[in-house]
């Protein structure tokens, strides 16, 4: 059975390019990093065949110097800017039906949204500047002219000139040259350069970081990376990308991780000193199959990237740590899903979103496609049985590798593969109903102790009579996995309303943090949950502590809800903290916080 890569009924509204009328075969980037002026300059060569005499590419804040078709200068024009979609670059006098080279000479500008330039002072070592990219979802067009849609995937070659070590989303061939043989969409282009060193963390893996932290990063990842890769291969099939490396970026990186091929970009917030947050690496390497090999064709079907990846990540963790751990991770994810649905517009809580031409995909980003998507796959697994679902999963990733697809092709392939077992699936409800889906039956053995302890702390009698002073002890949480501490803090926060009006509430929560030594945790997930709880409970000094912490952490998972909470309790502190530190944040993060604060 064969499937077309881009179903004709589905259009990517986030691109201005003529991607449906071209056959793109290969892309080559030849770039030089100008550290003084903070620009990338060079050329991009697209090998393509067009159905039309004009080809339209995406650009955003780029300076276009010259365009050539088959080594001859051709006419081009750059349209006025169309909001987040940028400016359409139209190239004329293209030979119809001929495979040829379209070469564009260009440079980035100071308004580039896909690159972040750090001064030496903004790095950990304070010795050299640093550059890194973040292209997903629509920011590759601000780095080079391209067909900036996940619907098109091609192999790449790169030649990058820099006075500092360089990494890109491919395998180094010689010197400054790299190659990506597996076809990828534009959003998976990645570049980083700075004072970088590497250490071995597995049979096919290195970690890259600034020299000051590379040893601690090596320790953090060396015990688990190869085990996680092998678990993923057992679940699916052989890893197709050759090497799997991790780059730990400076703190302003806006995401937990980014699944750039061959080189996962990771936040330093996962380097906790206790290997408790390496599940982020399990998530990013799972993308080597879901998202990178098989890709959503438009951002309205983002769950096909992220829902699958969360599902695979937890299957990996279940293999390594036991099925109860997989269930417990899903319970924590369900809590995150509930929180996201409470703050997101209803349209963006659907599994299949209508991302219209005036909707910036960045604005639709939330936990929903991750957790609602993985919940849907969990439901399908339980409906047809583990062995049938696993057979479908392997066939699905083999059938669609190197391609992009939408939810309707997923549905069609699932029905064709599992047959009558799929008859009871209410596809329209899963795809289009906003809000929470039906809650799965989770194994809650690891949850029960968390819930029991949270009930003790949030008992009105406990707080009113200061009973915790008699019974609370650090041994209450001894032997707990960090994920249990996270869920415990979530539960206490959820139940805070039962005790918030009591005069002893702030004192009780302050003691909770002190007795369990939670406030001193290096685990960013625990630290953030603690600060959220403490601020909501009115613990003295914690809103200032939260402001200080989110001024040092660029990860949007923490920064955005952190600012939203500060805005609720002290708008002046929220705005002043942001204004003082906004140049520290990545452009994507900065724009989102400005919207959150109404600035």
Q: For 179-198, what is each residue's pLDDT tens digit?
A: 999 999 999 999 999 999 99
Strand partners of residue 65: none
CATH number at residue 126: 2.60.40.1730
Cβ atoms of residues 223 and 242 within 8 Å: no
Does residue 581 belong to any structural domain of this protein?
yes
Q: Are residues 262 and 319 in the same domain?
A: no
Cβ atoms of residues 439 and 376 within 8 Å: no
Write out the two tokens for 411: 């549905």
In sign, the C-alpha dihedral spanning 234, 240, 246, 249 is negative
Write out the two tokens for 578: 């942001």
Residue among 301, 296, 299, 267 at smallest CA distance from 283: 267
Q: Quick check: 249 pLDDT over 60? A: yes
Return the pLDDT at 2. 27
Q: Are residues 243 and 306 in the same domain?
A: no
Contacts 24+ apart (CB under 8 A), 308-312: 308/373, 308/374, 308/377, 309/259, 309/283, 309/370, 310/283, 310/370, 310/371, 310/373, 310/374, 311/373, 311/374, 311/377, 311/378, 312/232, 312/235, 312/236, 312/286
Give the confidence band of 520 by pLDDT, cuts at 50, 70, 90.
Answer: confident
146, 175, 193 - which closes a domain: 193
Q: Quick check: 12 pLDDT over 80? A: yes
Query: At 535, is the secondary structure helix, strand, or coil?
Result: helix
Residue among 11, 24, 277 at smallest CA distance from 147: 24
Query: At 301, is the secondary structure helix, strand, or coil?
Result: helix
Does residue 235 belong to any structural domain of this protein?
yes
Write out the two tokens for 517: 């030594």
Annotated binding site for a peptide: 134-136, 254-259, 555-557
Q: Quick check: 1 pLDDT over 50? A: no
Nearest 5°: CA angle at 395, between 392 and 400?
120
Query: At 279, is the secondary structure helix, strand, or coil?
Result: helix
Q: For 15-36, what is each residue's pLDDT tens digit?
A: 999 999 999 999 999 999 999 9
Q: Are residues 126 and 250 in the same domain?
A: no
Write out the two tokens for 544: 């200032």
Catalytic (active site) residue 284 = yes
Does residue 3 belong to any structural domain of this protein?
no
Q: Are residues 128 and 73 in the same domain?
A: yes
Return the pLDDT at 324. 94
Cβ atoms of residues 167 and 244 within 8 Å: no
Q: Are residues 561 and 472 in the same domain?
A: yes
Above pLDDT 70, what percent of the chain? 98
Does residue 491 belong to any structural domain of this protein?
yes
Q: Are residues 172 and 246 in the same domain?
A: no
Write out the two tokens for 563: 């600012």
432, 454, 489 - which closes a domain: 432
Return the pLDDT at 274. 87
Structural domain tally of the chain? 4
Q: Quick check: 6 pLDDT over 60? A: no
**Phi-psi group of 245: left, alpha or beta (phi > 0 → left; psi -120 to 50 → alpha; rest → beta):** beta
CA distance 114 to 529: 30
Q: Quick check: 8 pLDDT over 80? A: no
Point out the catalytic residue in the list 325, 370, 516, 585.
370
Give the confidence band of 276 by pLDDT, cuts at 50, 70, 90.
Answer: confident
Give the confidence band of 3 by pLDDT, cuts at 50, 70, 90.
Answer: very low
Q: Are residues 209 and 258 in the same domain?
A: yes
Q: For 429-461, what is each residue's pLDDT tens digit?
A: 999 999 999 999 999 999 999 999 999 999 999
Point out the catalytic residue in the list 210, 284, 332, 381.
284
**Phi-psi group of 428: left, alpha or beta (phi > 0 → left; psi -120 to 50 → alpha; rest → beta):** alpha
Q: Are residues 200 and 234 in the same domain?
A: yes
Mean pLDDT check: name the lowest of 4-8, 110-114, 315-319: 4-8
Does residue 249 belong to any structural domain of this protein?
yes
Q: For 152-171, what is each residue's pLDDT tens digit?
A: 999 999 999 999 999 999 99
Q: Which residues of 300-337 are buried (b: 16+ CB within 10 A; e: fewer)?
A: bbbbbbbbbbbbbbbbbbbbbeeeebbbbbbbbbbbbb
Q: Quick check: 308 pLDDT over 80? A: yes
> Can you tell me which residue has the tokens 């999963």?
393
Peptide bond into 137 cis (omega under 30): yes
Catalytic (active site) residue 568 = no
DSSP for 399-464? HHTTEEE-HHHHHHHHHHHHGGGGTT--HHHHHH--S--PPP----HHHHHHHHHHHHHT-HHHHH
Average pLDDT across the chain, whole number: 96
145, 162, 193 - which closes a domain: 193
CATH number at residue 407: 1.10.390.10
CATH number at residue 502: 1.25.40.320
Above pLDDT 90, what percent of the chain? 95
Q: What is the mean pLDDT of residues 122-130?
A: 93
Q: For 60-87, what is each residue's pLDDT tens digit?
A: 999 999 999 999 999 999 999 999 999 9
Q: Are residues 499 and 361 in the same domain?
A: no
CA distance 501 to 487: 23
Cβ atoms of residues 456 and 516 within 8 Å: no
State the residue range of the domain holding 72: 13-193
Q: Are residues 273 and 303 in the same domain?
A: no
Q: Quick check: 4 pLDDT over 60? A: no
Pair type for strands 245-248 and 263-266 = parallel
Distances in whole angstroms, Cα of residue 320 to Cα of each of 240, 278, 345, 374, 378:
22, 12, 37, 19, 18
CATH number at residue 279: 3.30.2010.30
Return the pLDDT at 9. 67
Does residue 340 belong to any structural domain of this protein?
yes
CA distance 280 to 273: 14
Nearest 5°: CA angle at 416, between 291 and 429?
70
Cβ atoms of residues 262 and 180 within 8 Å: yes
Q: In what order do the strands lie in the sheet with 72-73?
A: 72-73, 63-69, 100-107, 39-50, 22-34, 154-161, 177-184, 171-174
Does residue 528 belong to any structural domain of this protein?
yes
Annotated binding site: 134-136, 254-259, 283, 287, 306, 555-557
Q: For 584-594, what is each residue's pLDDT tens digit?
A: 999 899 999 99
Annotated binding site for Zn(2+): 283, 287, 306
CA distance 367 to 344: 10
Q: Are residues 336 and 252 in the same domain?
A: no
**Percent of residues in the chain assigned helix, strand, coil, to nearest 5:** 45, 20, 35
Residue among 325, 306, 307, 303 at smallest CA distance from 316: 325
CA distance 480 to 474: 11
Q: Are residues 29 and 173 in the same domain?
A: yes
Does residue 262 belong to any structural domain of this protein?
yes
């Amino acid at each position: 059975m064969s499937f077309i890569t881009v179903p004709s009924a589905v259009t990517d509204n986030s691109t201005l390019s003529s991607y449906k009328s071209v056959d793109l075969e290969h892309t080559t980037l030849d770039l030089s990093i100008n550290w003084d002026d903070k620009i990338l300059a060079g050329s991009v060569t697209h090998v393509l065949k067009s159905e039309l005499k004009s080809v339209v590419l995406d650009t955003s804040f780029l300076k276009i110097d010259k365009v050539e078709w088959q080594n001859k200068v051709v006419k081009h024009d750059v349209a006025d800017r169309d909001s987040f979609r940028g400016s359409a670059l139209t190239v004329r006098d293209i030979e119809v039906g001929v495979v040829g080279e379209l070469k564009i000479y260009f440079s980035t500008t100071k308004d580039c949204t896909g690159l972040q330039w750090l001064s030496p002072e903004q790095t950990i070592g304070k010795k050299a500047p640093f550059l890194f990219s973040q292209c997903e979802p629509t920011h590759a067009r601000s780095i080079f002219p391209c067909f900036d849609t996940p619907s098109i995937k091609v192999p790449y070659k790169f030649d990058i000139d820099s006075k500092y070590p360089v990494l890109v989303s491919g395998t180094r061939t010689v010197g400054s040259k790299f190659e990506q043989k597996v076809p990828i969409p534009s959003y998976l282009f990645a570049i980083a350069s700075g004072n970088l060193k590497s250490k071995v963390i597995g049979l096919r893996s290195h970690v890259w970081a600034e020299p000051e932290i590379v040893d601690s990063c090596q320790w953090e990842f060396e015990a688990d990376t190869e085990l996680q890769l092998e678990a993923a291969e057992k679940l699916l099939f052989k890893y197709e990308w050759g090497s799997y490396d991790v780059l730990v970026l400076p703190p302003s990186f806006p995401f937990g991780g980014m699944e750039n091929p061959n080189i996962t970009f990771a936040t330093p917030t996962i380097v906790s000193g206790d290997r408790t947050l390496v599940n982020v690496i399990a998530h990013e390497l799972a993308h080597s199959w879901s998202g990178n090999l098989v890709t959503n064709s438009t951002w309205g079907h983002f769950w096909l990237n992220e829902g699958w990846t969360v599902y695979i990540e937890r299957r990996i963790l279940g293999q390594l740590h036991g099925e109860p751990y997989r269930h417990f991770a899903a319970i924590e994810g369900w809590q995150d899903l509930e929180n996201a649905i409470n703050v997101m517009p209803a349209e963006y809580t659907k599994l299949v979103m209508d991302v219209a031409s005036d909707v910036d995909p960045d604005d639709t980003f939330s936990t929903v496609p991750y957790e609602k998507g993985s919940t849907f796959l969990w439901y399908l697994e339980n409906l047809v049985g583990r062995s049938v679902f696993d057979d479908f999963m392997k066939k699905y990733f083999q059938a669609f590798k190197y391609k992009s697809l939408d939810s309707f092709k997923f549905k069609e392939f699932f029905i064709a593969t599992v047959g009558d077992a799929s008859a009871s699936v209410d596809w329209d409800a899963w795809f289009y109903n906003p809000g929470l889906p039906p809650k799965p039956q989770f194994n809650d053995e690891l949850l029960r102790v968390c819930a029991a302890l949270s009930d003790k702390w949030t008992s009105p009698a406990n707080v009113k009579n200061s009973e915790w002073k008699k019974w609370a002890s650090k041994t209450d949480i001894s032997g707990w996995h960090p994920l249990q501490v996270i869920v415990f803090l979530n539960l206490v926060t959820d139940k805070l309303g039962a005790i918030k009006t009591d005069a002893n509430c702030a004192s009780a929560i302050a003691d909770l943090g002190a007795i369990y030594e939670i406030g001193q945790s290096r685990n960013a997930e625990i630290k953030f949950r603690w600060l959220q709880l403490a601020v909501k409970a009115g613990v003295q000094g914690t809103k200032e502590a939260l402001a200080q912490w989110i001024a040092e952490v660029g990860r949007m998972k923490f920064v955005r809800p952190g600012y939203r909470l500060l805005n609720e309790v002290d708008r002046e502190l929220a705005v002043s903290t942001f204004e003082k530190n906004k140049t520290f944040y990545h452009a994507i993060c900065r724009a989102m916080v400005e919207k959150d604060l109404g600035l």
